[in-house]
Amino acid sequence: KPKKGACMKSGKTCNKKLSEKSRYNVPPSAEFVARVSGIATMGKLPYQETANGLDAAFIGVPIDTGTSNRPGARFGPRQIRAESAMLRAYNSGTRAAPYESLMVADIGDVNVNVYDLKDTCKRIREAFRSVLATGCIPLTMGGDHTIAYPILQAVADKHGPVGLVHVDAHADTSDVVLGEKIGHGTPFRRCVEEGLLDCKRVVQIGLRGTGYSPDAYEWSRAQGFRVVQVEECWFKSLAPLMAEVRTQMGSGPVYLSFDIDALDPAFAPGTGTPEIAGLTPIQGLEIIRGCRGLNLVGCDLVEVSPPYDTTGNTALTAANLLFEMMCVLPKMKYYD
């Protein structure tokens, strides 16, 4: 029996069953190491400083200086790591076996500049270029949605314009807010302007809330995005929608950006700009599981704001959604 420590470097002695058949990092199992025990890394995976040698990496971007309303998303990565202690090694719903498929680790956080959002964007872009240079797929824990812009700069640098599955309450395509081009309401406008997106392969799911103009999603449609307002999602499974999305995305590189506020505030209260009547976590799972087979080159889960997450369950939801994202990455092995 292991006596001490979180087995941060490897789960070998702490998850024998799995470690014996896997050549990858294996987090310690709660069957052998108490959930409460150990330094909090994402999914209890080992921490390493760089992405070298990894197929995929969890990475945090702890900012909220791009938020227009309630702050707190800077603590998203920390809280997601803490609540991720609930995660086990296999996906019971899809029978994916991520730790038999990929070398994954937690590579810590981008060292953001909390006093200057523009400089932070530069730091993010550079950090993600380094990660992507190793061939590793980033699974990002936000932070507010501003971060999607510099991440996509780095992603497009490597992969060219990408398809985008964007799950959100908001289109995030404003041009200028409070006189600024950079903020959590504008990233996808900037991405389009810089040619980072393959606009015919963009879908925005879950959009809703009051708007600044009669048709809040006009600009999105004008770019060729598919816009799925939340009203189209009410009362139904999104599996059929995702079949269409897979067709839309084809075999090209795809980025998945999931704003936790896409979910109804009942399920994800811990966020900065909640909008009522949103998606359910069931639909969130359907969307992510529906990305199976796509050529995913990066994913993020953004806008978890712990000060408004009074029970930790928003962060827990985020941890599960990030785990599900990992479970649809290319080369995943399924027991189905």
Who contacts 99 (Cβ-Cβ below 8 Å, separation ≥6)? Answer: 18, 22, 24, 25, 26, 27, 89
Is 292 an interacting residue with respect to a copy of itself (CB under 8 A)? Answer: no
Is 157 an interacting residue with respect to a copy of itself (CB under 8 A)? Answer: no
Query: Which one of 16, 35, 200, 221 is in contact with a copy of itself (CB under 8 A)?
Result: 35
| Contact stretch for a copy of itself (CB under 8 A) within 36-44, 158-166, 194-202, 295-303 | 36-44
Instruction: Please work out the total of residues on this chain that contact a copy of itself, with binding judged by CB under 8 A.
Output: 123
| Contact stretch for a copy of itself (CB under 8 A) within 35-43, 152-160, 187-195, 245-253 | 35-43
Is 3 an interacting residue with respect to a copy of itself (CB under 8 A)? Answer: yes
Q: Which of 197, 198, 190 is nearest to 174 (CA)?
A: 190
Is 110 an interacting residue with respect to a copy of itself (CB under 8 A)? Answer: yes
Shortest approach of a copy of itself to residue 153 CB, angstroms? 15
Who contacts 244 (Cβ-Cβ below 8 Å, separation ≥6)? Answer: none
Shortest approach of a copy of itself to residue 195 CB, angstroms? 24
Looking at the Cβ atoms of 35 and 200, the one nearer to a copy of itself is: 35
Give φ, ψ of 58 to 5 degrees: -85, 130
Is there a binding annotation on residue 170?
A: yes
Distance CA 78, CA 143 (A): 10
The footprint of a copy of itself on residues 85-104 (CB under 8 A) is: 85-93, 95, 97
Measured CA distances, 162 to 34, 152, 170, 181 (Å): 41, 9, 20, 22
Shortest approach of a copy of itself to residue 252 CB, angstroms? 28
Is 20 an interacting residue with respect to a copy of itself (CB under 8 A)? Answer: no
User: Which one-letter amino acid corresponds to residue 105?
Assistant: A
Is there a binding annotation on residue 259?
A: yes
Is the separation of the CB atoms in 277 and 320 below 8 Å? Answer: no
Give φ, ψ of 163 to 5 degrees: -70, 160
Quick check: bond before 72 cis, omega within 30? no
Is there a binding annotation on residue 159?
A: no
Tokens of 240: 């059929």
Shortest approach of a copy of itself to residue 326 CB, angstroms? 11
The footprint of a copy of itself on residues 160-179 (CB under 8 A) is: 174, 176-179
Is the separation of the CB atoms in 187 and 255 below 8 Å? Answer: no
Query: Which one of 70, 158, 226, 246 is in contact with a copy of itself (CB under 8 A)?
Result: 70
Q: Which of 322, 194, 209 is nearest to 262 (CA)?
A: 209
Shortest approach of a copy of itself to residue 322 CB, angstroms? 12
Q: Which of 5, 53, 57 is nearest to 28 (CA)?
A: 5
| Contact stretch for a copy of itself (CB under 8 A) within 147-155, 190-198, 245-253, 265-273 | 265-273
Is 141 an interacting residue with respect to a copy of itself (CB under 8 A)? Answer: no
Is 206 an interacting residue with respect to a copy of itself (CB under 8 A)? Answer: no
Distance CA 168, CA 78 (A): 22
Distance CA 261, CA 250 (A): 27
Is 303 an interacting residue with respect to a copy of itself (CB under 8 A)? Answer: no
Query: Which one of 26, 55, 56, 81 is in contact with a copy of itself (CB under 8 A)?
Result: 81
Query: Which one of 12, 52, 103, 108 is in contact with a copy of itself (CB under 8 A)?
Result: 108
Query: Which one of 323, 325, 326, 328 is in contact with a copy of itself (CB under 8 A)?
Result: 323
Distance CA 117, CA 260 (A): 21
